């Protein structure tokens, strides 16, 4: 047999298109040619595979070897094709039976010793491979995360020899099973936050409806503490949410099986670029907004981010996904994150502080706040001011309500939303808002007054209705009342 075809997977955004690794042996001077639009790290597979085969006790065919990665117009990157190339070489040279290769897919990077190293994107690859009905051979560390896919048949191996022993029937590998759900790591408790009842209430409303939140206030008032405690009061992740979140993190190599069904919390530094936030590169990689999918993206010192980076957030905030376009191809990533941002009210941070230590001029304050565009602020649902606590309240305040009690109310409110409309209130749009957010006569009058006095845009009008819907859900009320609407309007005043 001088030709062998082995199946593998490439990565193109969230998709993992199938790649046929074709290995052909012909007469001629000994050589190894790799074709099929390989990137530099794929071209280096020739040397890794050659050393791994020799160290594993196999022979390198002294013939003209041609390796084709099809389809030829699909870019191939990383060392994931080392294992399928090695298996194809062994099958084409008769050192390994190739009659069952069509039943399997392979991916893995080879060390020079023949050991297998983990690869990124194993979970995304397995999601696509499961539809083909084939079993997947992966490095042991990568196989554990791939086994999280329902009905997946995954075999984890530590070395090339272990894979070959399984294919030849000399030593069968056990099927890798999904790890048992462990105890999630403890989230910071909301009881640690003293006082700040208005901010705690806003955090609860944001968690219940999946709304975005902007906190403004002097340094040291607890804005970062509140943001860090938001994941602890969010509802438990559904299976589909956990799978999508894990698949995105797998693309970056950042997923850990022990973090299964743990909501991500991303907090990039304000020096992050627009590409770091929304994704990019060639081939495109997911950014912070995608890695925070079904979790929290916290942007501290919001005005210190570059204008271009902040403006890049506008589309994913509205659409829930981001499309990275390049000349050769496009990649689409989910971006269903919950934005929480914090900022100071002025350059020195002490505008409105009881000490009166702020010396910023009105022009400096206006210039500082103008770093945030109106369209971006209009897309943030809740705007609250976190004031400094008086000394008496700070020293004598009792511990606040723990996260467990708040989470119970938030979960109950989210369940009402899913039962009524099958989605959180924050994602309602168009006719869904008219259908699920009706107002009584008093509410209609109040909302008309708010639109006139606060000069609300059409987007802000809809966001007020969605906020009022969440406040009513927390109160277990099907009808939105004037009190619910008044609280929602207060959050939009900024």
State the pLDDT at residue 438: 87
Q: Where in the chain is the domain with CATH 3.40.50.300?
A: 190-411
Confidence of residue 156 (pLDDT cuts 50, 70, 90): very high
CB-CB neighbours of 196 under 10 Å: 24
Residues 294, 259: Cα–Cα separation, whole Å: 13
Res. 442: pLDDT tops 90: no
State the pLDDT at residue 343: 94
Res. 395: pLDDT tops 80: no
Task: Please say whether the beta carbons of 126 and 102 come within 8 A.
Answer: no
Q: pLDDT over 70 for what percent of the chain?
A: 98
Confidence of residue 391 (pLDDT cuts 50, 70, 90): confident
Mean pLDDT along residues 400-418 = 93
pLDDT tens digits along 272-284: 999 999 998 878 8
Between residues 131 and 106, which one has the greater pLDDT? 106
Q: Does the CA dihedral 435-437-443-448 come out positive or negative?
A: negative
Mean pLDDT along residues 236-241 = 90
Phi, psi of 108 (to 5 degrees): 165, 145
The CATH class of 190-411 is alpha beta
Res. 397: pLDDT tops 90: no
Confidence of residue 494 (pLDDT cuts 50, 70, 90): low
Res. 430: pLDDT tops 90: no
Res. 237: pLDDT tops 80: yes
Cα 169–Cα 172–Cα 178 angle in degrees, nearest 5? 150
Residues 152, 277: Cα–Cα separation, whole Å: 32
Q: Where in the chain is the domain with CATH 3.30.230.10?
A: 3-168
- Which residues, 6 or more positions from 365, have their beta carbon under 8 angstroms from its beta carbon? 345, 346, 347, 351
pLDDT tens digits along 466-488: 999 999 999 998 889 889 999 99
State the pLDDT at residue 183: 65
Tell me which range, 27-36, 108-117, 181-190, 350-359, is most confidently predicted by mean pLDDT.
108-117
State the pLDDT at residue 187: 85
Confidence of residue 434 (pLDDT cuts 50, 70, 90): confident
Residues 336, 314: Cα–Cα separation, whole Å: 13
Specify the CATH number for 3-168; select among 3.30.230.10, 3.40.50.2300, 3.10.20.30, 3.20.20.80. Answer: 3.30.230.10
Average pLDDT, the chain: 90
Closest by CA position to 72, among listed 136, 10, 26 = 10
Q: pLDDT over 90 for what percent of the chain?
A: 64
Length of the chain: 494
Phi, psi of 76 (to 5 degrees): -120, 130
State the pLDDT at residue 307: 93
State the pLDDT at residue 182: 57
pLDDT tens digits along 197-225: 899 999 999 999 999 999 999 998 889 99
Between residues 128 and 269, which one has the greater pLDDT? 269
State the pLDDT at residue 467: 94
Q: How far apart are the first and last CA of the chain?
A: 73
State the pLDDT at residue 458: 86
Res. 137: pLDDT tops 90: yes
Q: How far is CA 428 from CA 180, 183, 318, in A?
A: 35, 33, 11
Q: Encoding tokens for residue 90? A: 């062994």
Q: Does the CA dihedral 234-237-240-241 come out positive or negative?
A: positive
Between residues 129 and 277, which one has the greater pLDDT? 277
Res. 399: pLDDT tops 80: no
Task: Decide: helix, strand or coil at residue 427.
Answer: helix
């Amino acid at each position: 047999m001088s030709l062998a075809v082995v199946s593998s997977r490439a990565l193109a955004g969230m998709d993992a298109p199938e790649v046929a690794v074709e290995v052909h042996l012909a007469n001629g001077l000994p050589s190894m040619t790799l074709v099929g639009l390989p990137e530099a790290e794929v071209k280096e597979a020739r040397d890794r595979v050659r050393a791994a085969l020799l160290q594993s006790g196999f022979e390198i065919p002294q013939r003209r070897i041609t390796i084709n990665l099809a389809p030829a117009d699909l870019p191939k990157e990383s060392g994931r094709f080392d294992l399928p190339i090695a298996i194809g070489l062994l099958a084409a040279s008769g050192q390994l039976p190739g009659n069952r290769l069509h039943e399997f897919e392979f991916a893995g990077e080879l060390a020079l010793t023949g050991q297998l190293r983990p690869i990124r994107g194993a979970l995304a690859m397995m999601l696509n491979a499961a539809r083909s009905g084939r079993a997947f051979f992966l490095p042991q560390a990568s196989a554990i995360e791939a086994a999280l896919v329902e009905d997946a048949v995954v075999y984890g191996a530590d070395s090339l020899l272990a894979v070959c022993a399984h294919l030849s029937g000399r030593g069968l590998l056990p099927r890798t099973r999904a790890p048992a759900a462990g105890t999630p790591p403890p989230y910071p408790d909301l009881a640690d936050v003293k006082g700040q009842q208005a901010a705690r209430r806003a955090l609860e409303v944001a968690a219940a409806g999946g709304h975005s939140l902007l906190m403004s206030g002097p340094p040291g008032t607890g804005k970062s503490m509140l943001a860090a405690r938001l994941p602890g009061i969010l509802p438990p992740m559904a299976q589909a949410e956990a799978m999508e979140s894990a698949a995105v993190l797998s693309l970056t190599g950042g997923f850990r099986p022990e973090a299964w069904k743990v909501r991500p919390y991303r907090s990039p530094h304000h020096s992050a670029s627009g590409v770091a936030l929304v994704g990019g590169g060639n081939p495109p990689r997911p950014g912070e907004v995608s890695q925070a999918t079904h979790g929290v993206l916290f942007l501290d010192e919001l005005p210190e981010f570059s204008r271009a980076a902040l403006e890049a957030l506008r589309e994913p905030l509205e659409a829930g996904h981001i499309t990275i376009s390049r000349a050769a191809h496009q990649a689409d990533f989910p971006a269903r994150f919950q934005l929480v941002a914090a900022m100071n009210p002025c350059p020195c941070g002490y505008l409105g502080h009881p000490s009166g230590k702020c010396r910023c001029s009105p022009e400096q304050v206006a210039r500082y706040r103008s770093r945030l565009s109106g369209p971006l602020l209009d897309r943030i649902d809740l705007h609250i001011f976190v004031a400094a606590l008086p000394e008496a309240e700070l020293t004598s305040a009792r511990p606040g309500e723990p996260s467990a009690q708040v989470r119970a109310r938030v979960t109950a409110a989210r369940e009402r939303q899913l039962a009524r409309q099958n989605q959180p209130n924050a994602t309602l749009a168009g006719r869904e808002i008219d259908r699920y957010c009706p107002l009584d006569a008093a509410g209609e009058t109040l909302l008309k007054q708010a639109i006139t006095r606060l000069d609300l845009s059409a987007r802000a009008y809809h966001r007020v209705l969605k906020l009022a819907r969440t406040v009513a859900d927390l109160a277990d009320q099907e009808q939105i009342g004037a009190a619910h609407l008044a609280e929602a309007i207060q959050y939009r005043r900024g």
